[in-house]
Chain A
């Protein structure tokens, strides 16, 4: 009965005109951003962070979330039609999606990925509804040591599980945490690393850093490389979208498998949509009785990854909202947005703000439905949007970045911060670092320090407290396990690389890692 009450409360919140409007705006922007290569959900959310100041918190998160899962819908459009992924998590869709469009089956591919995305997302939302309250319940037994080890796990996972060198990932996380120490230390009142600049007394704000590292650095990296040729955007009619009976038979199991994999990976810190879609593809190929079809237009190869990344995006809200620990950079930004309004998600979030939580959950349903409706008839529109040349787009992006950051505090200093971090972010990319874990470190750093301090205070400086307490100890063992596993698999990789004499591959992505 309680469950139904919650749903009713959620619907009441989600269906308010204000929240509906922002849900619609969010998913449309998300869809747009997903379709356009060169602009990612991360950049879009960073750009929208300033506007959340003027909105009430529920509407703000509804909108940002809409951008997030909306982009998972749009990303596959560019992958299928242009062999150019709109978002990192839809890169896999290129492998079988583009051949499908070359065979004249673009419409079928687009329709199946839309439906797979919807069903995958729905499964994710369902799991969210069922499990978040339960997890929050367990989390009330968490003390400072548990929070500390949990956050460390999140940071370790985020830096090592992703694509790219784990050493570099860890370095980024630690660097982010260090940047988080800039400002006035709450416990002692002393200012750290501020170089006597009053603007830094409150620390380096999240928004300028995010906008610089992602918005600006993305743009600089994309100006030369994103060049959309006159696409083979074939006329995609409604009729061409109808799947054959064979397609329909091949749809269900991959979709379910993909949703399962995505839902599971979403709850893990550090595993984002990209990894979920890669894994789903790999699993499909492994279990298929005709693996040779993959790479040549196998519909399973698009359906499973797309279901996976949508499911993953939805379930990644679970640890964020019920524990207050973001599992990925986007979640960290969402957390940042909530904290701007003075709301700190954690185990008490669900019980203290039921309207917001259930309203958010219900808005996910509504958002996914809107996207389903938006996608099917409007595919032609999205296709035409793909033809906007990037040289028109990037000055617009820079404009939004500058105006957005400036409007926060009427501070030109903030804009300069964006510039500095934009340059820094680009340098990081060029050197093969992924800036995403840095933000995670920045957001979690202060909390990690606080919890560490409190735990050591409790134990009188004894570090074994982290191991002795059961929950904390288990998490710690798990963390060490992940570290060892990545170390071992990396050493093996390095040995292989040295034998082949090839240089270590540099992930030259214009999007950051964990999206």
Chain B
């Protein structure tokens, strides 16, 4: 496959896509109004057009230029993302401590080479810190432990 500047091509397409969506949605769903009486759709419409105007040259320029595939740190991305997701799913049901512990253990997988025991220790320490700062220190939020059943 021909060498292109993947970063710019992808970025440009992303921008053009968002911009097109914005402009189309704004003009169909919302009223554009006239210039002297701007409707709710006018500003997003203009922004959408500008985005397309920045995205297209970027894409075209990227296609004409050669570049390397952008480097992605997959492991940190996946595990940090999962960690936050786990937190969001657990916090309301089970409270601070389980949420933080599960989150932290998941997060430590992002960097290879640590034992589960050490991860758990760090997770427990962080849970303790969380309870200290947020429950005692700021005096609110959800309880450390919660039993939904």
Interface residue ranges, A against B (CB under 8 Å): 51, 54, 167-168, 170-171, 174-175, 177-178, 181, 185, 187-188, 190, 192-193, 216, 219-221, 223-224, 390-392, 394-396, 398-399, 401-403, 406-407, 410, 412, 415-416, 418-419, 422-423, 426, 430-433, 449, 452-453, 456-457, 459-463, 498, 503-504, 506, 508
Contacts and interface: CB of A to CB of B under 8 A. Distances in A.
Contact of A220 (B5, B15, B76): B76
Contacts of A192: 26, 30, 40-41, 44
B50 A395 contact: no
A422 B84 contact: yes
Contact of A223 (B51, B76, B92, B129): B76
Interface string B12-27: 0011001000100110
B5 A503 contact: yes
Contact of B67 (A168, A395, A449, A503): A503
B92 A412 contact: yes
A431 B10 contact: yes
23 contacts: A178-B22, A192-B30, A192-B40, A192-B44, A193-B22, A220-B73, A395-B104, A395-B123, A402-B100, A403-B130, A412-B91, A415-B87, A419-B81, A419-B84, A419-B85, A419-B88, A426-B77, A430-B7, A431-B8, A432-B8, A432-B11, A449-B43, A506-B7
Interface string B89-123: 10110001001100110011011001000000011
Given A223-B110, A223-B111, A430-B71, A412 B37 contact: no
Contacts of B68: 503
Contact of B65 (A175, A178, A223, A504): A504
A504 B7 CA distance: 10
Contact of B51 (A175, A224, A396, A504): A175
B63 interface: no
Chain B CB count within 10 A is highest, among A170, A394, A395, for A395
Contacts of A459: 36
A222 B42 CA distance: 40
A177 to B, nearest CB: 6
Interface string B56-75: 01100000011110111101
Contact of B141 (A224, A406, A423, A462): A406
A407 B141 contact: yes
B81 A403 contact: no
Nearest to B57: A167
B73 A453 contact: no
Contacts of B47: 174, 177-178, 181
Contact of B138 (A51, A177, A190, A391): A51
Nearest to A219: B80
Contacts of B140: 407
A457 B42 CA distance: 14
A409 B103 CA distance: 20
B44 A452 contact: no
A504 to B, nearest CB: 7
Nearest to B11: A431
A221 B73 contact: yes
B8 A391 contact: no
Contacts of A449: 43
B70 A431 contact: yes
A395 B73 contact: no
A221 B51 CA distance: 26
Which 8 pairs show the lowest CB-CB distances between chains A and B?
A461-B36, A461-B35, A223-B76, A415-B88, A431-B11, A503-B67, A185-B40, A171-B54
Given A192-B30, A456-B35, A406 B91 contact: yes
Contacts of A503: 5, 65-68
A398 B107 contact: yes
Contacts of A190: 30, 40
A498 B66 CA distance: 10
B7 A399 contact: no
Contact of A403 (B5, B65, B76, B100): B100
Given A168-B11, A406-B142, A456-B35, 16 more contacts: A167-B54, A175-B51, A178-B44, A188-B31, A219-B76, A223-B111, A390-B111, A398-B107, A401-B84, A433-B11, A452-B38, A456-B36, A457-B38, A461-B37, A504-B5, A504-B65
